[in-house]
Amino acid sequence: MKTEQYPKVYLYKRIVQAKLFIDSNYANNIDLDNIADEAYFSKFHFIRLFKNIYGKTPHQYLTAVRIEKAMLLLRANKAVSEVCFAVGFESISSFGSLFKRIVGITPSAFLEKQQQMKIQILETPLKFVPGCFVYQNGWDEK
């Protein structure tokens, strides 16, 4: 592959590394000031560049990652309290209100919905697959 140096490649590498750091360490108590320091940016310069690229401030992005991971864990049938601490929140009430604000329903309502969905999938799997694929694969005959 030919190598091409695009504009501001060093800036991109540092911001992307910061984003990947958040992706890997969302469950910990992340200090965003430290990330800016490690990326060799002033805090405000870092936030501005990060937002330009990802459309969210690092803090907003961290929250989004935590809520996304919480949804994954709830889909895997984990208890709300367990999920709350597993994704880096320190209080169930702040987790619950933030979750509801972003997802639209409470974590426990989300969990219940997912459990019902799983039961439906197990009982009537063909309802979740387009008929053409069911027919082509002979799944309706089994």
Partner 1 sequence: MTHVCVYVLNQESAFDFYTNKLGFKVKMDVPMGKDARWLTVTPPEQPELEITLFPVAAGNMFNEETVRSITELISKGTFGPGVFTCKDIYATYEELKSKGVEFMKPPTKEFYGTEALFKDDSGNWFSLAQLV
Per-residue mark of binding to partner 1, 55-94 (x: CB under 8 A)? x---------------------------------------
Task: Give the list of residues 6+ apart from residue 43 with CB closer than 8 angstroms, or none.
Answer: 32, 33, 36
Q: Where are the alpha helices (DSSP H) in the chain?
A: 9-25, 32-38, 43-54, 58-75, 80-86, 92-103, 107-123, 131-137
Cβ distance 56 to 22 under 8 Å?
no
- If one asks whether residue 105 binds partner 1 (CB under 8 A), the answer comes out as no
- If one asks whether residue 137 binds partner 1 (CB under 8 A), the answer comes out as yes
- Cα(98)–Cα(95) distance, rounded to whole angstroms? 5
Phi (first) and psi of residue 82, to 5 degrees: -65, -45
Query: Shortest approach of partner 1 to residue 90 CB, angstroms?
Result: 27
Q: Tell me the window of 31-39, 52-60, 80-88, 89-97 that interacts with partner 1 (CB under 8 A).
A: 52-60
- If one asks whether residue 129 binds partner 1 (CB under 8 A), the answer comes out as yes
- If one asks whether residue 24 binds partner 1 (CB under 8 A), the answer comes out as no
Query: Shortest approach of partner 1 to residue 89 CB, angstroms?
Result: 21
- Cα(20)–Cα(23) distance, rounded to whole angstroms? 5
Token readout for 22 is 């958040």
Query: Shortest approach of partner 1 to residue 88 CB, angstroms?
Result: 19
Contacting positions for partner 1 (CB under 8 A)? 1-4, 6-9, 12-13, 15-17, 19-20, 53-55, 121-122, 125, 128-130, 133, 136-139, 142
